[in-house]
Amino acid sequence: MPVLSKGRHRTPKRGACFMELASYLAGERWSDHPACTHPLLAALARLVNDNTSDVDRSKLIWLVPSIIGLTSDDLRVDAHIALRCARTALPVAAAERQLALAVSVLAAEEMLARLDGAPSGRLSEASMDAMAQVPRAADQARRFSRAARITEKGFRRYAAPNAVQLSVVGIVQACIPDPDALLRTLLSEAIDDCVALIRGPQPETLDAALPARV
């Protein structure tokens, strides 16, 4: 069995990143971009793998099987992954990153409202709680977001991937006791979100992963 390590690897004998191990377990061609996982979720997994310390990276192994088979073309999946990431990083990130993360929260919520046919500007309770912890950045983000309207294509190609990357960097550089643990929690919860969205409600999963919109 390949050992988890940072970066890409030519063969299993040289080790494996999170997604390479997923491709191995799924029986696919060796790759860190396997077809068995949603592209944005796979991007999050690679970022978490590469930004987790060598000491703690092995703790990610138990999550690998759960990411296999989570594929979908539904833009709601991208929006929920981006929202989960930005909402998790926002309260702990350094001040200079909070505006971009708050904008990412609003953009993801706006995209979900659009896809669901809900009124613009509605936020989930979890998003309101995260924004309330950074009131200055939240106010700036609301002013900025009123002047911007992203397309669905732009959200999938740019806004959602940027939110994921900004969030992981924000957590890694945050002044918190254990960023590795928060990265693992983020990946685990993002996987739970995708399971609920793609495979349907799971016992004790959907309510926790997807708070009711208000």
Residues 123 and 177 in one domain: yes
Nearest to 126 by CA among 181, 193, 202: 193
Residues 113 and 33 in one domain: no
CA distances from 39 to 62, 83, 101, 202 (A): 20, 16, 21, 22
First to last CA, the chain: 46
Residue 206: the pLDDT is 42
Residues 111 and 44 in one domain: no
Residue 103 near residue 141, CB atoms below 8 Å: yes
Residues 91 and 148 in one domain: yes
Residues 44 and 108 in one domain: no
How many independent structural domains does the chain possess? 2
HSE value, Cβ hemisphere, 13 Å, CA-based, for 179: 20
Residue written as token pair 């309260």: 91
pLDDT band at 21 (very low <50, low <70, confident <90, very high): very high
- Please state, as a whole number, how many other Cβ atoms lie within 10 Å of the Cβ of residue 5: 16
Tokens of 162: 């940027």
Q: Give per-residue pLDDT as tens, 57-82.
A: 999 999 999 999 999 999 999 999 99
Model pTM score: 0.90
Task: Give domain status of residue 3, yes or no.
Answer: no
Quote the CA–CA distance of 91 and 86 in Å, as a whole number.
9
Residues 146 and 89 in one domain: yes
Residues 148 and 82 in one domain: yes
Q: Give per-residue pLDDT as tens, 134-173.
A: 999 999 999 988 767 889 999 999 999 999 999 999 999 9
Residues 58 and 79 in one domain: no
Q: Give per-residue pLDDT as tens, 30-58.
A: 999 999 999 999 999 999 999 999 999 99
- Tell me which of 67, 95, 110 is where a domain ends: 67
Amino acid at 199: R
Domain holding 59, by residue range, is: 12-67
Task: Give domain status of residue 143, yes or no.
Answer: yes
Residues 81 and 59 in one domain: no
Residues 100 and 186 in one domain: yes
Residue 78 near residue 156, CB atoms below 8 Å: yes
